A and B are shown apart, each in its own frame.
Chain A
Amino acid sequence: KAGVTQTPRYLIKTRGQQVTLSCSPISGHRSVSWYQQTPGQGLQFLFEYFSETQRNKGNFPGRFSGRQFSNSRSEMNVSTLELGDSALYLCASSTDRGPGNTIYFGEGSWLTVV
């Protein structure tokens, strides 16, 4: 069974540009979440999508957005990139929102903003 797949793995963008990251969850998983990991702030929750609806949102500015498609695949977008957006962006998927389900992470997308 394939794991969570994220693309691209590595990318470099210029300040002011925008970026779109893609995530394919584990087959059968309908919940997809996004996290940002930086050395200074650690792992921080961005948002969660379930059945194409955003269910949860972290404390990030509106420049960070996402969406989920009918096949559960998800994308996140960051507009007007800032140097501080350089981070590892992780996608995680899960079967549902119950208290007992496990959340699995993809390998992440390394974003460098120059």
Chain B
Amino acid sequence: GQSLEQPSEVTAVEGAIVQINCTYQTSGFYGLSWYQQHDGGAPTFLSYNALDGLEETGRFSSFLSRSDSYGYLLLQELQMKDSASYFCAAKAAGNKLTFGGGTRVLVKP
């Protein structure tokens, strides 16, 4: 089977940096995706790491280490609109995504 572990909640102030860790146990692993989901909304794609290393997209960066079965999402210069749930998801063959439980990020003024 597959499982992904991530913290349930993180709180930070505007302008801060938040790192959301994700450890996974999975077979047939292709890569690690990150999605953002606001309350009542759909998951929005943030980033995807198929190879080891850091991927940067604006204020968000994602990292993957296949040897450690570990990845993280880095949110920089936090803004109030970043308050949402963030999910890591392992991609396997056939476009199957297995999701972690989600990390609720609360940004305070």
Residues in chain A within 8 A of chain B (CB atoms)? 31, 33, 35, 42-45, 48, 50, 55-56, 58, 90, 92, 94, 97, 99-108
**Contacts between chains A and B (CB distance < 8 A), count:** 65
Chain B 39-67 per-residue mask, 1 if CB under 8 angstroms from chain A, else 0: 00111110010100000000000000000
Q: Is B102 an interface residue (CB 8 A)?
A: yes
Known: A43-B43, A107-B41. A56 touches B31 (CB 8 A): no
Q: Are B87 and A43 in contact, CB atoms less than 8 angstroms apart?
A: yes
Secondary structure at the B interface, as helix, strand, loop or mixed, is: strand
Given A56-B96, A97-B95, A103-B97, 18 extra CB contacts under 8 A:
A43-B43, A45-B98, A48-B94, A48-B95, A50-B94, A56-B95, A58-B96, A90-B43, A92-B97, A97-B93, A99-B31, A102-B45, A102-B48, A103-B45, A103-B91, A105-B43, A106-B42, A107-B41
Chain B: residues with Cβ within 8 Å of the partner, total of: 24
Tell whether, in the assembled complex, residue B42 and residue A108 are in contact, meaning their CB atoms are under 8 Å apart.
Answer: yes
B99 within 8 A of A: yes
Are A56 and B94 in touch, CB under 8 angstroms? Answer: yes
Tell me, rounded to whole Å, the shortest Cβ–Cβ distance linking B6 to chain A: 11
By beta carbon, the residue of chain B nearest A56 is B94
B14 to chain A, nearest CB (A): 27
- Minimal beta-carbon separation of B77 from chain A (angstroms): 24
Contacts of B96 in A (CB 8 A): 33, 45, 48, 56, 58
A98: nearest chain-B partner, CB-CB: B30
